[in-house]
Every structure is written in C-alpha cells, then in structure tokens.
Amino acid sequence: MKKSDWSRFRKHAARPERIVWAVAEHEGRRSICPLGWKMNTSGSPPMMAVSVAPSRFTHGLIEQSGELALAWPGEDLAEATLLCGTRSGRDMDKFAEAGLTPLPGEHVKAPLVAECVANLECRVVGRLTTGDHTIFACEILAVWLHDQPKRLCVSCDRSAGYDILLDKDGRIFGAVKAD
Amino acid sequence: MKKSDWSRFRKHAARPERIVWAVAEHEGRRSICPLGWKMNTSGSPPMMAVSVAPSRFTHGLIEQSGELALAWPGEDLAEATLLCGTRSGRDMDKFAEAGLTPLPGEHVKAPLVAECVANLECRVVGRLTTGDHTIFACEILAVWLHDQPKRLCVSCDRSAGYDILLDKDGRIFGAVKAD
C-alpha cells in the first residue's frame, strides 16, 4: 500500500454513484437538487440520509419545510440532471425549465416528478452538520414507482461497464451496460 | 406512477452498492463489519458517513474508540466479505479467520487491511441516531491505496452488467463487467 490522497481515492472509488434529486418546496418556491451523496440509514422505519451543501437553494427549502421528495432519474433524464445540477432554483423554476411534470404527493408539500423512475415522500427527522454539508435523515412516508422500469442515471467515468448518456462540462452520466 | 413499498423500491434502486468494511479496535478486541450504507458527506475537510446497526460488535468498538478504518474490498475479497458479514467478531478474530493481514495506521489504532484496494483512516466527529442504525460522520485523516488496482466488490443482483463473484445465502457480490 502507498499513501495517497482523497482526490485520488475518489477517482478510484467514488463512482459509479446513483443520482437522486432532492425536491423541496416552501412558500410557493420549489427546486430540484441532484445529489450523489445519499445512503439508506434505517430499515425499520425506512429511512434514507442525504448530504446537501448549505449553499444550495434546495437546502433552505428543506430546512424551512422539513420535507422533501427523493426522485430517481432514469436514463432519459441525464440532460435534466445536468440542468438542475448546474443552475440555481433561485433564478428559475426547474420544473418548467427542464420540462418536468410536478405531481402532488400524499404526505408532503414537495412535488413528485412524474418522469422519474421512483419518488419517495420524506419527512426530515434528524440533521447533522458535517464539514461543508448537512446530513438530513429522512423518514420515508410513501413510495411511488413509474409504470415503466428504466435504467437509473448514474454519475460515472469512462471506465468499462457503462453506456454513456452525457459527457459535458466535466460531468459524465451513464447507465450500467446491459449484456 | 403507482403506489408501492420500500422493499420493492429497494429491489429496484438499492443496488449495485459498493461495499466498505468498517474496521475498529478497542482494548485489544478488533472486528470488521461490511457495510453498503455509506456516503461522502464533506469535501473540505474530506468526510464520509456510514450507517452501522447498534447490534453489530463493531458498533461498540467504534463508539468506544471514536475511530475506525474504512477498508474497500476488491473482487478477490467476496468470500471474506461474506464471512465478515455473517459472523460476529464477539466470537472470533476476523483477520485470522479470513486470512487477512492487519497493518498499523498512522493516525488511528484501528488496523488497516493489507489486501484491500483502499484504506481510509477515520476519526468520528459526529453521530446521529436514525431508526435502527447510527450514522457516524467520519473525518478522513489518511488515505492508502493498494499497489495493484482491482475492481471493487459490490453488492448486486443478477441483472445485466455484473460479473458475479459469489451467490450464497441470498447474498450476491459482483464487480461491474468490463467490456
């Protein structure tokens, strides 16, 4: 073994990373923030945790509303993921800009995304400040699946095993290659 | 979209999941706990978060020592991952049982694993209790990489795109298929 650094480790071991969109709404403003940093964190009750940077507009909406939707983009939403990840919801409505269809949830005010493979309605039940992000621990109140299964959109690199969906501005999105 | 449930969502969207081993030591006892539930949670300083069930022997070692190593098994360690994930460190020394080589770290008492693709020395800097797990927020103090790159061991299913390394007792470990 040899001593290395975090950036080299991340090149080696941080991808592929399934992408999830954190979707939140508060007082009539809504936004979508694509994330790679998420994990399951409880089986009973079902919970996921996400890491969101405080600078993101969506971070404030989650803090203020205490709710969010976790929407999972499929391989047809690579362009929308890039748009939502590189523009700020302070300046635009991302649903309109990306041609996405908001749907009402049953438990949370945050809209679901009709085009996504899956949507989870979530209530924030815990938070922890880490170095430059906030961990939101999210209890999953309802699960919605799209009628048509699709491969999930992942953040990846050009190593073998992925169909590349988009390669722009240093970001590569793909889907695990089928046989 | 149609209403569904957590277990169906997890079948659909929880895999592949790179596996990491949480390795901890306290007062002469050490253990290895394979995890799928982990995420990056800070860029500066570098941090990762892991979710560990309190019932795991390693959970107590992390709590008591405030330190751990995150060791990343490659495709040659699927059997060792199964052993470490299905037996308890209360009853055995998993290094000996799985034929693994402990190496001293520079910052933490937790041993590194010589056979792993990468090892991260970590100090616990935050914790959050979720439903049935504990999130440990870990600052990364040092990064070690194996001399030979290997594909990482992932928890996967029998969908396309993976070379299956092991399929036993309901657990399937693989590596992303090369072209």
**pLDDT, tens digit (0-9, with 9 covering 90-100), for A28-56:** 999 999 999 999 999 999 999 999 999 99
**pLDDT, tens digit (0-9, with 9 covering 90-100), for A77-120:** 999 999 999 999 998 999 999 999 999 999 999 999 999 999 99
Burial (CB count within 10 angstroms: exposed 0-12, middle 13-18, buried 19+), residue B62? buried
- As a whole number of angstroms, the distance between CA A121 and CA A25 comes to 12
**Which of A143, A146, A152 would you mutate first to test chain B, the one with the most B CBs within 10 A?**
A143
Which residue is listed with tokens 């694993």?
B113
8-state DSSP, A141: E
CA-closest candidate to residue A106, choices A124, A125, A93, A119: A119
Residues of B in contact with A16 (CB under 8 A): 16, 176
Residue A4, H or E segment: strand A2-4
pTM score of the predicted model = 0.95
Which chain B residues in 31-70 lie under 8 Å from chain A, judged by CB atoms?
Answer: 36-47, 49-51
Question: What is the CA B149 to chain-centroid distance, rounded?
Answer: 18
Which residue is listed with tokens 């440990």?
B136
Helix ranges restricted to H, B14-120: 57-65, 78-86, 94-98
ipTM above 0.90, yes or no: yes
Retrieve residue A175's tokens.
Answer: 């889907």
pLDDT at A174: 94
Quickly state the pLDDT bin for A153 (edges 50, 70, 90): very high
How many angstroms separate the Cα of B119 from the Cα of each of B1, B56, B60, B74, B147? 42, 21, 21, 12, 12
